[in-house]
């Protein structure tokens, strides 16, 4: 399911909401989650799950074509842990 399908589902479930308004609301929610993870490091949506910022340390890897050792830089990544209600709904 992609953004357009999610926007269509929002329009179908909320009476009087246009596709444009639903798209803007979707973008606002995604933006708020991104800013929250970037700033506070964690965004929790009760019943759905939580997004957390984690640091992935640098590590040594290999170039698959040459076999030469390379250093893969450290970076921040976003992790998602599904909430109990979401897990229960798919089982």
Looking at the fold, whether 48 and 85 belong to one and the same domain comes out as yes
> Mean pLDDT over all residues of the chain?
96
Cα(34)–Cα(65) distance, integer angstroms = 36
Q: What does the pLDDT read at residue 48?
A: 95
Over residues 26-73, the pLDDT tens digits come to 999 999 999 999 999 999 999 999 999 999 999 999 999 999 999 999
Q: Tell me the mean pLDDT in the region 75-82.
A: 97
- Report the pLDDT value the prediction gives residue 38, as an integer from 0 to 100: 95
How many domains would you assign to the chain? 2
Tell me, what's the pLDDT at 28? 97
Give burial (CB, 10 Å; 0-12/13-18/19+) of 43: buried
Q: 47 and 91: one domain? A: yes
83 and 48, same structural domain? yes
- Give φ, ψ of 63 to 5 degrees: -70, 120
| pLDDT (0 to 100) of residue 86 | 94
Residues 47 and 74 in one domain: yes
Q: Tell me the residue range of the domain where 16 lies.
A: 1-36
């Amino acid at each position: 399911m992609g953004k357009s399908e999610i926007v269509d589902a929002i329009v179908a479930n909320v009476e009087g909401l246009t596709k444009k308004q639903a798209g803007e609301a979707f973008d606002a929610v995604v933006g708020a989650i991104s800013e929250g993870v970037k700033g506070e490091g964690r965004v929790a949506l009760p019943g759905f799950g939580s997004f957390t910022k984690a640091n992935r340390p640098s590590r040594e890897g290999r170039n698959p074509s040459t076999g030469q050792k390379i250093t893969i830089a450290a970076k921040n990544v976003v992790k998602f842990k599904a909430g109990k209600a979401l897990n229960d709904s798919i089982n």
